[in-house]
Chains A and B, each alone.
Chain A
Amino acid sequence: MSEFFSNYGFELLQKTWEHFYISAIALLIGVVIAVPLGMLLARTNKLGNWILTVAGVLQTIPTLAVLALMIPLFGIGKIPAIIALSMYILLPILNNTIIGVRNTDPNAKEAALSMGMTRLQLMSQVELPLASPLILSGIRLASVYVISWATIASYIGAGGLGDFIFNGLNLYDPVMIIVGTVAVTVLALLTDKILGLVERYAVPKGINISR
């Protein structure tokens, strides 16, 4: 074991970092697209539901297949992997954003509009903060997904901890597989914990009191 770490220790750190930033970039892109999109879709009835359904269907396509489909479009490497991963996590974030915004107190919104908020002010000053608990939990869920799926992205040359696992499979080296798997799990758990803390502090205080 210690021999493994002396041989592969540096590579482990490097792959972990790679894994982390692929996931983080994919998550960031997903959030930047899904949250505003979800807020817009929330006010439409049919379109919102339709998009959710389509996104739900897309979600059932195996990750590996999506990654494979990326190759003819974007080639191999980190970029196609990040694109595929961010598409993948659109759904949980979109879903929670739409539901969160739709569930915000209609009376608060009615009062805010009646007092002269513009649509944009309503979205940014009322809907977003009120929906923030659900949106944040969607993001947290997506972060765990994205970290586990990023493992598979190594298949199309994205790097990351998946490399350990795939190499281990090729070389019949169980230690490599186990180390890779544990590292992914630890990364996912840590991220989840950290985002849990973020959630606690980012949700507006007045909303916490009501719960």
Chain B
Amino acid sequence: MLSIKNLTKIYGGKNKAVDDISLDIEQGEFIAFIGTSGSGKTTALRMINRMIEPTSGSIEIDGKDVMQMNPVELRRSIGYVIQQIGLLPHLTIKENIVLVPKLLKWSEERKDKKARELINLVDLPESYLDRYPNELSGGQQQRIGVIRALAAEQDIILMDEPFGALDPITRDTLQDLVKVLQKKLGKTFIFVTHDMDEAIKLADRIAILSNGQLIQFDTPDEILRNPANQFVRDFIGENRLIQDRPNMRTVEDAMIKPISVTADKSLSEVISIMRERRVDTIFVTRNDGTLLGYLDIEDINEGYRKGKDLVDIMHRDLFKIQIHDKLQDSVRTILKRNLRNIPVVDENNILLGLITRSNLVDIVYDSIWGETPAGVDEA
């Protein structure tokens, strides 16, 4: 466990780069530090491996105060990845990967095995081990940067905007890769980023920093649901709060008004209502609004020809959802059962609304691409 207490770094006697930050990080957690430029993310990160000495406060790893450790040994026990990659150009990829194992005087055999194992982990051919960094693309180089940080089997990996300089597709691939590695290896990752999407995608918990202070430290869900203050709201961006609507919106927000008839209507009345409203399904309720069942257009045709009553032909067994259910669940039910729509009822089975496939589609699209552009909306 990594425990940071009242960590402060003051430059030039007054400029507080990191201001009294406290947080506890569990073994195996993926933590993102996020904040605007100059908010102290890098400074906080680099105090963990003592590349920067704190002005006050403490950092403990598994109960041991890092200030009591030899800084060189400490750094060898913590993986580190930077945005600028920082491979050593005069060393081969293999030599780069096993840099720390070499400092730790591992045997040739063990280094060799490790280099092979790691390069396979990031889907690069073993023949690359003999190349030089300049013979690799930026994305490939950063893969090496990542595995170099794992080579000495460090338990804690620090990453300072590791993918900031990569193109979006490469970045996405590497994010997935890092997430998989972290899950697989059970290591603690502390990841600095500017990018909220990246933080949400990767982190178990996100630490939001502003002016050196820790504003909020929580799971992505909790931060999106309950931003601590206006700064966090602004930082997340209204856009994203909206984008997150499917998670947060209840069924009530998303449902539309259903077309229904009471059970005492005749089939010809039902047909004229359906034609008028242009629907192919109609719900049947009691006078008090209790949902009884539904009819669809083929059933009505047949029943009409045979001269049956509404109550004889309606379907009584149907899927329905509760008004306070999460919208996600209704999406799941509709997709799984391959339904065209699903009625919404309250706890007394009173029909309140309807979720259709097509309005779910709109919501899903919204959540992927943000709000529908105004022009399309009105069309």
A interface bracket (residues with beta carbon within 8 Å of B) = 20 to 34
| Cβ 8 A contact of A110, one of B74, B86, B100 | B86
Q: Decide: A114 and B51 in contact? CB cutoff 8 A.
A: yes
Question: Is A118 in contact with chain B by the CB < 8 A criterion?
Answer: yes
Question: Is A112 in contact with chain B by the CB < 8 A criterion?
Answer: yes
Q: Which of B88, B91, B103, B135 has the most CB of A within 10 A?
A: B88
Mask, B327-366, CB within 8 Å of A = 1, is: 0000000000000000000000000000000000000000
- Give A129 to B132 CA distance when docked, in angstroms: 14
Give A208 Cβ to nearest chain B Cβ, in Å: 9
Q: Decide: A114 and B134 in contact? CB cutoff 8 A.
A: no
- Give A209 to B90 CA distance when docked, in angstroms: 9
Question: Is B176 in contact with chain A by the CB < 8 A criterion?
Answer: no
Known: A115-B75, A116-B76. A209 touches B134 (CB 8 A): yes
B interface bracket (residues with beta carbon within 8 Å of A) = 20 to 34
Q: Decide: A105 and B89 in contact? CB cutoff 8 A.
A: yes
Closest-by-CB residue of B relative to A126 is: B88
Q: Decide: A112 and B88 in contact? CB cutoff 8 A.
A: yes
**Residues of B contacting A111 in the complex (Cβ-Cβ under 8 angstroms):** 80, 82, 85-88, 145
Closest-by-CB residue of A relative to B149 is: A115
Question: Is B49 in contact with chain A by the CB < 8 A criterion?
Answer: yes
**Residues of A contacting B85 in the complex (Cβ-Cβ under 8 angstroms):** 107, 111
For residues 293 through 350 of chain B, which have their beta carbon under 8 Å from a beta carbon of chain A?
none
- Give A94 to B99 CA distance when docked, in angstroms: 29
Of A13-21, A150-158, A199-207, the one with at least 4 CB within 8 A of chain B: A199-207
- Give A210 to B135 CA distance when docked, in angstroms: 9
- Give A113 to B99 CA distance when docked, in angstroms: 11
Mask, B72-104, CB within 8 Å of A = 1, is: 111111001010111111111000000110010
Question: Is B40 in contact with chain A by the CB < 8 A criterion?
Answer: no
| Cβ 8 A contact of B90, one of A114, A116, A118, A206 | A206
For residues 109 through 161 of chain B, which have their beta carbon under 8 Å from a beta carbon of chain A?
132-135, 145, 148-149
Known: A107-B82, A206-B134, A209-B135. A116 touches B73 (CB 8 A): yes
Q: Decide: A121 and B89 in contact? CB cutoff 8 A.
A: no
Q: Decide: B75 and A116 in contact? CB cutoff 8 A.
A: yes
Known: A116-B75, A118-B72. A206 touches B82 (CB 8 A): no
Beyond A108-B89, A206-B89, 6 additional contacts (C-beta under 8 Å) are A115-B80, A115-B103, A116-B72, A116-B75, A205-B90, A206-B133
10 A–B contact pairs at CB < 8 A? A110-B82, A114-B82, A115-B75, A115-B148, A116-B72, A130-B89, A204-B91, A206-B90, A209-B134, A210-B89
Point out residues on A near B: beta carbons under 8 Å.
Answer: 105, 107-108, 110-118, 121, 126, 129-130, 204-207, 209-210
Give 3 closest A-B pairs by Cβ, nearest first: A111-B86, A116-B76, A204-B90
